[in-house]
Chain A
């Protein structure tokens, strides 16, 4: 892990810890724009900060800590797709994103088919679709990656109430959207390459979110156990509880170390493994955290449930856990063959 990575992470953490409400989409989005976090991964010649894709992961680690509801991840994906595209007006498009024109995307695969000259289908888990102006998407057959205006009459967005209230997910329906009306970023083989890249970024972002959130949640749990007195001693003095916290810490460390180790890989199997581990460890940490908080963890006034609900959602975003596991097996079989 580079010094630059750590410094960025520390800086973002300071801001996140300074915000007083977990999740708060507007506040987080404001910081993302104000402090240039959307620019970190884009190259300098296109107006970015040229810190590489891992810089966006550093930001997301800490956004996860605060359960940020801002649509940072789709924006990172869009920035990357535009940079890798053959468009002539990359700088102008990026400039718009950096100054607040939100571009969103689906956080799960599937739903969109291309027929003749139109696009139809429904994309699920599209983040903050009502506040975004544009949509990044790709077709199921991987022949096309494109951007469309969300205001187009062939596109409609329907908000979904999710248990996780820190994120706002939408179903976005495309009804015979003419291909002529979208901005094509990649087609054919280059679309496949771009989609692989975008999926990897999505999985990395979700993994970082999970690592950041589980780390914060463990801190919160330890603090609770240190201050709550029962049987005339802090709960943290009971070994049965201490050991569970030590196990949670070990899970956090494993997820983080694996995530950091795959930052410069081009193997999507390795990235999927990191995503699978981070989201499943986060789920375990969140289950334990609620139990260790006791009754107060069941109260809506306490933030425990926000972390738990996000932990329940995360494994279902990005590449599915089953697909992650299968790809790890396949990569191993290929390596020993």
Chain B
């Protein structure tokens, strides 16, 4: 697609978003209960699906699919620019589940599950466990083969929106004898099946965006295994790679909106002329610009097939750091007023303008999806070529 066509597409997306974004969603989501949030997500999802903007990354032939990476980037940028709600409830379905199926799923699995995703089925991810976070491969949830079924027992945690999910992408252990990565198997699990229970986790923000999932002799058909038994680690890599960079293009662009909110806060606190605050604001602005530039550059590399190992880690690490700086300055600029409990907003994720909330939420990005420390290991070991940690240490 030429530059001109891409620009034309941008105008088309911009125009459509202008006409279709749920009006006043920020106000409606302030102090809203979760059902109202789910309702908004469903309605917004439906609109995006109909327009084809929810599935630009799906292959050609699917409604909305077959868009180039450059076009997908345009959609994400415009969604951020228009300050549309983030599709938090459907992200795992649209990206993680769909991309895993496209890349590793059988034809029967694609036929069975993909139409459901377009119809609004919600998926969650069952990867992390209480004792398997950064060291994901050490996970212990068992999948025991019995005839043409697997019997699942164990526990998952930090699963986003699992309390609303219809299905789960499950990474479970089928073999405990070899190296940790080798004994994992990837399954598609029905969250309504017998033996599944979900417990939302009360978070420090007052929200319960994450949940624990417990499996008690849950049956999964062998037909719902993605890839071979024991090959789950490779399939999980496909899941995690599915939206490489696009989310961060959106999130870094959204920080520009965050800067405008910061100006509003400083204004309302009468601190816009405070030299100390101005000086700090002057430090954060280039960082926000740089975060956008880093994410943009990464995606350009992907578009031209020049991505290198570790590039994605730099984008995520830097975003997490800049976001923290931005929201910390927000907290600071509010002074004592920011310590009184303000309005709680759902679906905006990072920049709600309630800075204390945003500050706490910013830890999502420095912990989830590979913590800052894990990203630093990847950058040091795989980009800079520094040796790995020695592994002799044993529990005594």
Contacts and interface: CB of A to CB of B under 8 A. Distances in A.
B377 A254 contact: no
Interface stretch (A56-64, A83-91, A178-186, A324-332): A324-332
A207 to B, nearest CB: 11
Contact of A237 (B289, B300, B386): B386
Interface string A188-208: 000000000000000000000
A324 B136 CA distance: 44
Contacts of B282: 324-326, 328-329
A257 B294 contact: yes
A14 interface: no
Interface in A264-279: 270, 273-274, 276-277
A332 B263 contact: yes
B381 to A, nearest CB: 7
Contacts of A226: 385-387
A242 B318 contact: no
A257 B291 CA distance: 8
Contacts of B263: 332-333, 336
Contacts of A322: 279
A70 to B, nearest CB: 28
B291 A254 contact: yes
Interface residues of B, number: 40
B290 interface: yes
B289 A261 contact: yes
- A245, A253, A331, A336: residue with the most chain B Cβ atoms closer than 10 Å: A253
A218 B386 CA distance: 12
Contacts of B259: 332
Nearest to B261: A336
B379 A246 contact: yes
B379 A273 contact: no
A331 B263 CA distance: 12
B386 A253 contact: no
B329 interface: no
A318 to B, nearest CB: 15
A245 B384 contact: yes
B387 A270 contact: no
Contacts of A247: 376
Given A222-B384, A242-B380, A328-B282, A257 B297 contact: yes
A274 B285 CA distance: 10
Interface in A229-275: 233-234, 236-237, 239, 242-243, 245-247, 249-250, 253-255, 257-258, 260-261, 270, 273-274
Interface string B286-321: 110111111011001000000000000010011001
Contacts of A1: 297, 300
A172 interface: no
B293 A332 contact: no
A254 B379 contact: no
A218 B384 CA distance: 9
A246 B376 contact: yes
Contact of A239 (B287, B300, B389): B389
Nearest to A331: B285
B285 A243 contact: no
Contact of A329 (B281, B293, B379, B383): B281
Contacts of B296: 257, 261
A261 B387 contact: no
B61 interface: no
A246 B317 contact: yes
A273 B385 CA distance: 31
Contact of B287 (A225, A254, A261, A333): A254
Interface in A285-337: 322, 324-326, 328-329, 331-333, 336
B297 A254 contact: no
B380 A273 contact: no
A253 B294 contact: yes
- A247, A332, A336: residue with the most chain B Cβ atoms closer than 10 Å: A332
Contact of A277 (B278, B286, B375): B286
A254 B380 contact: no
Interface in B250-291: 259-260, 263, 272, 278-279, 281-283, 285-287, 289-291
A325 B279 contact: yes
Given A246-B317, A249-B379, A336-B263, A254 B385 contact: no
B377 A329 contact: no
Contacts of A257: 290, 293-294, 296-297
A237 B387 contact: yes
A329 B277 CA distance: 10
Contact of A242 (B287, B289, B317, B381): B381
B179 interface: no
B217 to A, nearest CB: 41
Contacts of A239: 377, 389
A218 B291 CA distance: 20
B386 A242 contact: yes
B285 A329 contact: yes
A332 B375 contact: no
Interface string B358-396: 000000000000000101110111011111111000000
Interface string A30-59: 000000000000000000000000000000
Interface string A113-154: 000000000000000000000000000000000000000000
13 contacts: A234-B387, A236-B387, A237-B387, A237-B388, A242-B384, A243-B377, A245-B386, A254-B294, A254-B318, A277-B287, A325-B279, A329-B285, A332-B281
Q: Which 6 A-B pairs have the closest CB atoms?
A: A325-B282, A246-B376, A242-B380, A273-B286, A261-B293, A246-B379
Interface of B: 259-260, 263, 272, 278-279, 281-283, 285-287, 289-294, 296-297, 300, 314, 317-318, 321, 373, 375-377, 379-381, 383-390
Given A226-B387, A261-B296, 10 more contacts: A222-B386, A237-B387, A245-B379, A250-B314, A254-B294, A255-B290, A273-B289, A277-B290, A329-B282, A332-B260
